[in-house]
Amino acid sequence: MLLVIGAMPEELEACHKAFDFQTDETVLGPIFRERSNKFLLCTSGIGLTNASARLSQCLTLYPEISQILVLGTTGAVTRNLHQGDIVLVPYTIYGFADVRAFGYELGQIPQMPPVYEANHHFLKLLEQHFSSKVERFSLVNCASLDVFVDNENQVREWLRPLPIPVQIVDMELAAYYQVAFRFHKPILALKIVSDSLMHEKNPALSFDEFLPTASEKLKWCLEEIIRIQPTT
């Protein structure tokens, strides 16, 4: 079974309205099961700890989960991305982990991989599909931090030294990918760019104004993914 997870209810609002769900109540909030058992849907809340706790809960409560799809919005830190772009994330890394004194790479959690990878098969399937349907589509790497990145000094001091090039930032994805790694579950993130620090100082829409549009785009993406990859 596919698990669809995101940080904010507002991001997945259109997805929630587009399908018929039954609700399982849990201590961390509701988990929605699509009535024909195509997928589960839930939100984690914002931040790395919330993301880790919620995904760990889902994978423990529902051992039948065979694949994880992260949906949400993201901020861009490169001039090549614009508001509304659809991106897939092959690699993610923690933006603030620094244990180099003990021989680890910048961004690496001790005894964990230096970076976390998306599932190759899932990535290639969605890359092939969306690259033929969407004009503005990219593969990008993400750094996750419990800090809102809002200026170029942060990008230069925190992100540029990381061992992989980073094009987007968020506050959850590295935690989602790390939990998936620990549970041996395939994972992939699809994000909508909500703002671009390096390119759009005055975007066409503010984040709050753009959020309904992003939610509708995420719903369309989910419908496409379910159509091309039947879930069990």
- Residue spans per domain, the chain: 2-228
Q: For residue 150, what pLDDT is reported?
A: 85
pTM listed for this prediction: 0.95
Q: For residue 90, what pLDDT is reported?
A: 98
DSSP secondary structure string, 188-207?
A: EEEEEEEEETTT-SS-SS-H
Q: Are 14 and 218 in contact (CB under 8 A)?
A: yes
Distances (CA, A) of 41 to 96, 97, 206, 227: 29, 30, 26, 16
Can you tell me whether residue 59 is helix, strand or coil? helix
Give me the residues of the chain with pLDDT under 50, please.
231-232
- Reported as a single tens digit per residue, the pLDDT across 192-215 is 999 988 765 556 788 899 999 999
Q: Which CATH superfamily groups domain 2-228?
A: Nucleoside phosphorylase domain (3.40.50.1580)
Q: How far is CA 92 from the centre of its chain?
A: 9
Q: Round the average pLDDT of the chain to a whole number and report it.
A: 94
Q: For residue 212, what pLDDT is reported?
A: 97
